[in-house]
Amino acid sequence: MNHTITMKVSVSSREKIKPSRPTPCHLRTHNLSFLDQVAARMYVPLLFYYDGNQENVEADNRCNLLRKSLAESLTKFYILAGKIINDEIERFVDCNDDGVDFCVTRVSNCQLSQVIKKPDIFEQVKLFLPFDPCDNEITASGDFLLSVQVNVFEDCGGMVIGLCINHKVADASSITTFVNYWATIARGMVLNVDDRQIQDPCFQVQSIFPQKERGIGFKISSSPLDGTLVTKKFAFEASKLAELKERCKFTNEPEDGYKPTRVEALSSFLWKCFIDIDQANLKGVSRTKVYLATNAVNIRSRMIPRFPTSSFGNIIAITDAVFTVNNNESTGINDPYYPKLVRKFRDAIKKIDREYIEAMHSTDLLLNNMMKLIEHVLSGHTLSIYFSSWCRFPLYETNFGWGKPSWVSTCTIPQKNAIVLMDSNSSGDGIEAYVNLAKEDMGELEHHEELLAFIS
């Protein structure tokens, strides 16, 4: 059955939102940190869905509120209104107050509830974003830092706020910090209060991780940007996540008392499904295959002293777990294979400790590890899958003055074999996995028997 939504998205206005106050001269140049330099050159899409049964006149008021509060927020997040100066090693942002692209659209022939019920139609969800994050030309230039599109549903008064933020200046925690700051400013305007508890962003990463002359523009493993990259959402309820954690106990290795988190258990399970598919394709071929699972780890709380949660920039370490499979190895979830993956995945995360972080900013450890990763990928002997967890970030707290979002999602990102994990609702008990694979691999994943038994 064809469930395509025949909605129409029409642009009603487009403008630049500049900071409400000029950025002081001494802040006009923002030096990127080394962690920013090696971040992937890509745009991160994020969408907030708000229910509504309001009249369009109120929707206009909401849009005006979003404009005004965004301008106010950009006085603190001034780098987002600037432009990256693109040289070979991407040294700094020119905080020139050029502004942020802000687009308002009207959505007709569709209700917000229809989109939320059928969110796997990512080609249509992309219409709620200011541009396609997989657009080669836009991604290659990467000079602007933030674009916003506000989509107003004419039939129900619902609203979707879509953002694309340049990964060169912000990780998932930074994006969360910004949107919650923006929402708090807007909510304060609605309630006519000045929230003195709001935290200003902290731009001090460069002092700990100074930029290097030997910087690299990290090459994304994103070969299929020609329409063959497919994104699907797989939802896992709390009970299924608990079952996965229980399955981790099937191991002959000594028990150390550690209980994996739901993110570790789920990530390892998806890694296992990925390996299963590749192993099935190698059936009858006698060879040993190496599988690599990389994970972006937020290091704010792992640093000594701790970095505040409002620290803005890329403050992450990339860790990798390696697993080697022989063709005759069992692949059932009830044998030691799955628990071994869980242990390797969480051990890789555990190694990101104080000593590791110290080595990150005092040596070339991070750069060398990333270069090895690139070499592995290019060699053709290793298959890699990339994980990024946004779980527990307070995205569902993003209240602009008309309530919290009923749903928060991402969309297709220009990275093959990438998986983003997000809370499925405000209670944070379930997880949604946004999986980006080549079209043929996705077809096989959707028929993986064990995966089908766990998704809701």
In angstroms, the Cα distances linking 399 to 70, 85, 182 are: 14, 33, 9
Predicted local distance difference test score (pLDDT) of residue 362: 76
Predicted local distance difference test score (pLDDT) of residue 396: 96
Identify which has the larger pLDDT, 90 or 173: 173
| Contact between 50 and 65 (Cβ < 8 Å) | no
Q: Which two tokens stand for residue 96?
A: 């020139």
Query: Using 50, 70 and 90 to split pLDDT, how confident is the model at 194?
Result: low
- Any bridge partners for residue 235, and if so which? 432
By residue count, the chain amounts to 456
In angstroms, the Cα distances linking 150 to 49, 147, 281 are: 10, 10, 44
Q: Which two tokens stand for residue 269?
A: 């399970």
| Contact between 315 and 300 (Cβ < 8 Å) | yes
For residue range 392-444, list pLDDT tens digits in order.
999 999 999 999 999 999 988 888 899 999 999 888 899 999 999 988 899 99
SS3 415: coil
Predicted local distance difference test score (pLDDT) of residue 260: 87
In angstroms, the Cα distances linking 323 to 278, 294, 326, 354, 382 are: 13, 12, 10, 25, 10
For residue range 262-285, list pLDDT tens digits in order.
999 999 999 999 999 988 888 766
Is it the case that residue 257 has pLDDT exceeding 70?
A: no
For residue range 16-28, list pLDDT tens digits in order.
999 999 999 999 9
Is it the case that residue 254 has pLDDT exceeding 70?
A: no
Q: Where are the alpha helices (DSSP H) in 201-250?
A: 205-208, 238-247
CA distance 191 to 179: 18
| Of 293, 287, 296, 294, the residue nearest 314 (C-alpha) | 296
Which range, of 49-58, 91-100, 447-456, averages the lowest pLDDT?
A: 49-58
Q: How do 418-423 and 382-389 pair as beta strands?
A: parallel
| Contact between 314 and 39 (Cβ < 8 Å) | yes
Identify which has the larger pLDDT, 303 or 143: 303
Q: How do 288-298 and 418-423 pair as beta strands?
A: unpaired
CA distance 205 to 35: 8
Query: For 67, what's the count of Cα atoms within 13 Å in the CB-facing half-sphere?
Result: 15
Please state the pTM of the whole predicted model: 0.92
CA distance 398 to 182: 9
Predicted local distance difference test score (pLDDT) of residue 243: 94
State what percent of residues in the chain have pLDDT above 70. Answer: 84
| Contact between 317 and 349 (Cβ < 8 Å) | no
Predicted local distance difference test score (pLDDT) of residue 220: 43
| Contact between 105 and 11 (Cβ < 8 Å) | yes
- Within 10 Å of residue 296's Cβ, how many Cβ atoms? 20
Predicted local distance difference test score (pLDDT) of residue 159: 96
Q: Which two tokens stand for residue 203?
A: 């731009």
Predicted local distance difference test score (pLDDT) of residue 256: 59
For residue range 117-144, list pLDDT tens digits in order.
876 666 778 899 999 988 878 877 777 8
For residue range 65-115, list pLDDT tens digits in order.
999 999 999 999 999 999 998 766 568 999 999 999 999 999 999 899 988
Query: For 192, what's the count of Cα atoms within 13 Å in the CB-facing half-sphere?
Result: 0
Q: Which two tokens stand for residue 196?
A: 């003195």
Predicted local distance difference test score (pLDDT) of residue 7: 86
CA distance 256 to 341: 16
Number of H helices, E strands in the chain: 14, 15
For residue range 207-219, list pLDDT tens digits in order.
888 887 754 544 4
- Any bridge partners for residue 116, and if so which? none
CA distance 36 to 316: 10
**215-224 mean pLDDT:** 45
Name the DSSP class of 127: G
CA distance 224 to 369: 25
Q: Where are the alpha helices (DSSP H) in 307-410?
A: 337-350, 354-362, 365-379
Predicted local distance difference test score (pLDDT) of residue 1: 39
Kindly report the average pLDDT of the chain as a whole number. 86
Query: Using 50, 70 and 90 to split pLDDT, how confident is the model at 196?
Result: low
In angstroms, the Cα distances linking 114 to 111, 158, 160, 455 are: 5, 11, 13, 21
Is it the case that residue 249 has pLDDT exceeding 60?
A: yes
The one-letter amino acid code at 63 reads C
CA distance 168 to 313: 8
For residue range 320-369, list pLDDT tens digits in order.
999 987 765 555 444 568 888 999 999 999 999 989 898 887 777 777 77
Predicted local distance difference test score (pLDDT) of residue 137: 81
Query: Using 50, 70 and 90 to split pLDDT, how confident is the model at 172?
Result: very high
